[in-house]
A and B are shown apart, each in its own frame.
Chain A
Amino acid sequence: MSAPPYSYSYIFKYIIIGDMGVGKSCLLHQFTEKKFMSDCPHTIGVEFGTRIIEVCGQQIKLQIWDTAGQERFRAVTRSYYRGAAGALMVYDTTRRSTYNHLSSWLTDTRNLTNSSTVIFLIGNKSDLKDQRDVAYEEAKQFADENGLMFVEASAKTGDNVEEAFVETAKKIFQRIQDGRLDLNATESGVQHKPSQPGRTTLTDQSPKNTCTC
């Protein structure tokens, strides 16, 4: 984790949202530490994690804000959506109520982020097959209707966790490349390093070969 400064070319801000107990912090822990934490302490307010990944030959530092799920904390966590390039919206495949609340999480996300924010839907606890309460097809349809990326994942086994975080980053990177995400916009959620100080436009530093991943 202690990478030397600017060993990466971009910082992407993510937020993780969803009802309490769906496994947001466990997903983050699995992604940053590659370990499952049973009885992961619940998040009060917001916690914070980072990891550097490689996407299309670029080192990207993910700055991940993990939020508390309880309704009343939303008054505070809403202020963290601003400037997120990626939003991971999590429900628990074994608890329908957490799925039913997705539309309200989605409304918040749409209202509080910008149009270029990538939203990725994660159905967590896919390992608990016999406790399934939400069908894959149903969630997939919800995702398609709302233009979200979607996987079922398991913070316990690690299944699809890496994919969710990395695919989100790829999509963000794509949007930078095709110009949908303006790096100079103050709340794009993306910072371009290493030509400090100040931001540069992508054309100054864009990788020569176009990413095909």
Chain B
Amino acid sequence: MRVINTRFNLKYDNVDEYGFMRPENFDYERYEKFMSSYLVILVNRSKKWDKLMKKGKRLQRGLVLKRYVKKGIPSSYRAQVWMKISGANELQIHQESDLYNTRLNSVLDSDVVQAIRTDLPRTFPDNIYFIPLEGSQEQLYRILFAYAADNKNVGYCQGLNYIAGLLLLVTKDEEISFWLLKVLVDNILPDYYSRKMTGLMIDIEVFARLTKSKMPDLYRHVKSLNIPWSLLIMKWFVCLYAEVFPTETVLRIWDCLFYEHSPILFKVGITLINYFRKTLLGCDNFTSFIEVFKKMPLDIFVLDCHYFMKRVNSENKSITNALLQKLRKEIKSEKKNYELNQLP
């Protein structure tokens, strides 16, 4: 199935380890340079995780586990560790034993089925496992169907296809993907995907306020160009950076997301914008600003996920769940008598 890339005669083929075709203009040389150092880190982290997992400890929350998660969970342990640190395991234990199959046998509104079906062929068409008849499309359909049946308030929201799709590629297990999707949408992200998307809009406003306090010049610049924050960052938050960032970077973000919840989403965005702050300030019109903004996730700064996550975690320690809760509460009460649709 895989074609070795002979054009550059390098050791990386044109399909990555999760099945994504590399883009035509992919910079193999730059990538090889990054991977040569990242592989050493991966091997090193792998050994440490082997030890941690062998101890048979129940991955207790604490400074050690937190540090391990921040430095990246090895791909071979991701499914198992994500299930534990996210609380999905707990959730599963306290539910009917075969919730997934029960949900698969429910009846769903035809509009919801139609919406899921519409998005299937356009979920990762550049991934070899999502080519029609390769099986993943049908698995993804079942995960989304089961979740929609499980949480009828949410049903299906566009964007969940990317999240569930990537969960499936990483865990290679439908049911685990279902539980992880469930814990993300039901517990970790506050009201992002429901029919009014209220929580998402509040968090976009929270992000704008954090930018205002950390980079007031940039915040003013965005305002002067009349750019709504939702135009800039909505996809980041809806897709949790999937379909925006390189895959390995997204998974490193999700490692933290399952452990510490929302703060990581804000830290990532703020770090990225801060890194490009001067370039962005130099964009003197709407279009050029947006063009630069859209290109940021493709920069080597983001591809080099280990260094990127180090920066993300060290630069934004002040962004905590407590701070986010405080800001969310403020915004909610300010907008109480005001149409939430006006946000932001």
Contacts and interface: CB of A to CB of B under 8 A. Distances in A.
A75 B234 contact: no
Interface string B307-338: 00000000000000000000000000000000
A18 to B, nearest CB: 13
Contacts of A48: 231, 290
A44 to B, nearest CB: 4
Which one of B122, B125, B340 has the highest number of Cβ atoms from chain A below 10 Å of its Cβ?
B122
Contact-residue bracket for chain A: 20 to 34
A70 B158 contact: yes
Interface stretch (A34-42, A151-159, A162-170): A34-42
A53 interface: no
B80 interface: no
Nearest to B119: A42
A48 B125 CA distance: 21
Contacts of B235: 44-45
A46 B234 contact: yes
Contacts of A208: none
A70 B342 CA distance: 18
Contact of B341 (A61, A71, A79): A79
B238 A70 contact: no
Contact of A75 (B238, B239, B341): B341
Nearest to A65: B231
Contacts, number: 70
B118 interface: yes
A111 to B, nearest CB: 12
B157 interface: yes
B200 to A, nearest CB: 8
Nearest to A44: B235
B285 interface: yes
A80 B122 contact: no
Given A45-B231, A75-B201, A78-B341, A40 B239 contact: no
A103 to B, nearest CB: 18
A42 B234 contact: no
A68 interface: yes
B121 interface: yes
A20 B118 contact: yes
Contacts of A5: 285
Interface in B43-73: none
Contact of B158 (A39, A42, A78): A42
B243 A41 contact: yes
Interface in B247-306: 285-287, 290
B230 A76 contact: yes
Given A72-B157, A75-B197, A76-B201, A44 B122 contact: no
Interface of A: 5, 20-21, 38-42, 44-46, 48, 50, 61, 63, 65, 68, 70-73, 75-76, 78-80
19 contacts: A20-B158, A21-B119, A39-B121, A39-B122, A44-B159, A44-B234, A44-B239, A45-B238, A61-B287, A70-B115, A70-B158, A72-B157, A72-B193, A72-B196, A75-B196, A75-B340, A75-B341, A76-B201, A78-B341
Interface of B: 115, 118-119, 121-122, 125, 157-159, 193-197, 201, 228, 230-231, 234-235, 238-239, 243, 285-287, 290, 340-342
Given A40-B122, A76-B234, 13 more contacts: A5-B285, A20-B158, A42-B119, A44-B159, A48-B290, A63-B286, A68-B158, A72-B193, A72-B194, A72-B195, A76-B197, A79-B230, A80-B228
